[in-house]
């Protein structure tokens, strides 16, 4: 894979309404380019505005991670198990095959979503909090994505505001430096899984 760096500005990220009318999703990045939920993807990172109670989409073969960004959160029933997500930056991992019903705790909320096609790609993702003028090096991986959730940062010479992202495909250096205030980031690394041998 050849090296490529792409800055994805907040205003360039497409927003689509849910078919059930319960919210909307802002797609931050998807691989491969032009993929969607219907045609399939290797990985996808998005931000959802959840406006009302309702079920999650069922996505067989997909591993999902969710972080609460804003609002009072949700009470989930996941294959009959109760899960409460009500703390800022709280993470919940689950399988796309699961039957998930969500009920808002107190008003709309916003969450960050990472999805990976289980048989195609492995992901390592975490939220990072950096102090003002602190620098973070992101280890080399096949593909990397940094999303600024709060504060401002410089990545590969590009200034990223809240909601902006930087994607790096290939093995180049990826250093992220906060500019003048603490910063909260999603840092995700993606590596393709080897196909099983035929026969």
pLDDT tens, residue order, the chain (199 aa): 457 999 999 999 999 998 777 889 999 999 998 898 888 999 999 999 999 999 998 999 999 999 999 999 999 999 999 999 999 999 999 999 999 999 999 999 999 999 999 999 999 999 999 999 999 999 999 999 999 999 999 999 999 999 999 999 998 889 999 998 899 999 999 999 875 544 4
In the chain, CATH 2.60.120.10 sits at 13-117, 121-192
What CATH class is the domain 13-117? mainly beta
> In angstroms, how far is CA 171 from the centroid of its own chain?
21
Q: How many CB atoms lie within 10 A of CB 122?
A: 15
DSSP 39-97: TB-SEEEEEEEE-S-EEPPP-TTEEEEEEEEESS-EEEEETTEEEEE-STT-EEEEETT
pLDDT of residue 130: 95
pLDDT at 195: 59
| Cα 109 to Cα 68: distance, rounded to the nearest angstrom | 8
Q: Which CATH architecture has domain 121-192?
A: Sandwich (2.60)
Q: Which helix (H) or strand (E) holds 24?
A: strand 23-31
pLDDT score recorded for residue 1: 41
What is the pLDDT, as a whole number, of residue 132? 92
pLDDT given for residue 48 in this prediction: 95
């Amino acid at each position: 894979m050849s090296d490529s760096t792409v800055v994805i500005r907040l205003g360039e990220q497409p927003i689509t309404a849910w078919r059930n009318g319960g919210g909307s999703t802002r797609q931050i990045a998807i691989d491969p380019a032009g993929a969607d939920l219907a045609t399939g993807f290797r990985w996808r990172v998005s931000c959802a505005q959840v406006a009302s109670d309702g079920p999650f989409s069922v996505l067989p073969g997909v591993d999902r991670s969710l972080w609460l960004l804003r609002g009072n959160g949700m009470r989930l029933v996941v294959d009959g198990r109760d899960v409460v997500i009500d703390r800022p930056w709280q993470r919940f991992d689950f399988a796309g095959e699961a039957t998930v019903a969500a009920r808002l705790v107190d008003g709309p909320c916003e969450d960050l979503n990472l999805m990976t096609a289980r048989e195609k790609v492995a992901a390592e993702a975490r939220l990072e909090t950096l102090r003002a003028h602190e620098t973070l090096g992101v280890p080399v991986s096949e593909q990397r994505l940094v999303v600024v959730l709060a504060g401002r940062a410089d990545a590969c010479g590009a200034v990223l505001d809240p909601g902006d992202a930087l994607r790096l495909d290939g093995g180049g250096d990826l250093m992220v430096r906060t500019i003048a205030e603490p910063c909260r980031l999603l840092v995700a690394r993606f590596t393709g899984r080897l196909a099983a041998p035929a026969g």
